Amino acid sequence: MRKLLLLLLAAPCVAWAQAHSAEEVKKDIQRHRAMAAAHEAAAKCLESGKKPDVCMKDLQASCKGLAIGRYCGMKHEH
């Protein structure tokens, strides 16, 4: 049963990997790194004492065209 569950969870990942060309995967890697850099900048912005609204606007500007949604492809609770 456990092996079946693992197979079912892994199947979408395998299908995704096969459906993308090497060039598409390379572009996805670049997007993920750019999103990570934008989130790191947002964290540093908050650490500097700036208001969350200011940091969020900076994050949204950094992520324009990179990710879906207002939160640069990531949203956490609160």
CA 41 – CA 39 distance, rounded (Å): 5
Q: Read off the DSSP letter of residue 68.
A: S
* Predicted pLDDT at 54: 95
* Predicted pLDDT at 50: 97
* Predicted pLDDT at 70: 74
CA 14 – CA 36 distance, rounded (Å): 24
* Predicted pLDDT at 77: 64
pTM assigned to the model:
0.66
* Predicted pLDDT at 14: 52
* Predicted pLDDT at 7: 55
Sites in the chain below the pLDDT cut of 70: 1-18, 74-78
